[in-house]
Amino acid sequence: MMDRPMYASPEPAPPPVRVHDPLAVAIGNASLLGVGYLILGRRKTAVSTGIITLVLLSILISAAQWWCEALLLLWWAAVIAHGWSAAGGRAGRVTVGGQRMVAFGVTVPVLLAVGLLRFDASRIEQRVAEAREDGDCARVLSDGAGAWFGHRTAGAPMISSSDEAVEACRRLRTAEAKLTAGLATGDTNSLNAGFDILTSVLAEPGNKRTVGTALDGFLGRLPTPDACRTVTVTDWLRNRRPSPDPLDRSAAAVTRTAPAALVGCGDNLMQAKEWTNARTLYQQLLDQYPQDGGTEAAKKGVRQATLSIELANVRSLLEGSSDEQPVYCTSPAKYSGAAPYGKGVNRALFYGNDEYTDDLPGRWKAKNAADAELIVCVGERKQGSTVETCTYRSKSSGKLYQVSFHKISLPVKVYELRTGKLVVNRKVQIGGRSCPSVIKYSSSFLDDFGPDPDRYVNPSKTDVRAAFESLIAR
Question: Could you say which of 88, 118, 144 is where a domain stops?
Answer: 144
Q: Examine residue 316 and state whether it is found in any structural domain, yes or no.
A: no
What pLDDT does residue 9 have? 52
Looking at 122, 144, 166, the residue that finishes a domain is 144
Q: What is the pLDDT of residue 312?
A: 95
pLDDT, mean over the chain = 83
DSSP secondary structure, 153-173, as one string = HHSHHHHHHHHHHHHHHHHHH
Beta strands of 352-441 (E only): which ranges?
A: 374-378, 382-393, 400-416, 421-430
**Does residue 19 register a pLDDT over 80?**
no
Mean pLDDT for the stretch of residues 455-471: 94
Q: Which residues neighbour 367 within 8 Å (Cβ) at sequence distance 6 or greater?
A: none
Same domain, 207 and 185: yes
- 177 and 84 fall within a common domain: no
Residue 429: φ, ψ to 5°: -115, 125
Mean pLDDT along residues 202-217? 91
Greatest mean pLDDT among 107-116, 126-135, 139-148: 126-135
What was the pLDDT predicted at 147? 64
Burial 90-104 (b: 16+ CB within 10 A, else e): eebeeebeebbebbb
Its domain, for residue 454, covers 327-472
180 domain-assigned: yes
Same domain flag for 134 and 206? no
Whether residues 277 and 168 share a domain: the answer is: yes
- Does residue 201 share a domain with residue 281? yes
Confidence (pLDDT) at 17: 44
Number of domains in the chain: 3
* 424 lies in the same domain as 383: yes
Domain match, 240 and 384 both? no
The verdict on residue 8 lying in a domain is no
**459 lies in a domain?**
yes
Question: What pTM value is reported for the model?
Answer: 0.71
- Which of 310, 342, 366 is where one domain is finished? 310
Do 292 and 337 lie in a common domain?
no
State yes or no: pLDDT of 46 exceeds 90. no
**Residue 40 pLDDT grade (very low, low, confident, very high; cuts 50, 70, 90):** confident
For 196, other C-beta atoms within 10 Å of its C-beta total 12
Each as own residue / partner, the long-range contacts of residues 358-365 (CB below 8 Å, 24 or more positions apart, any chain) are 359/461, 359/464, 359/465, 360/464, 360/465, 360/468, 360/472, 361/465, 364/468, 364/472
Shared domain check, 467 and 388: yes
Q: Is 381 helix (H, G, I), strand (E, B) or coil?
A: coil
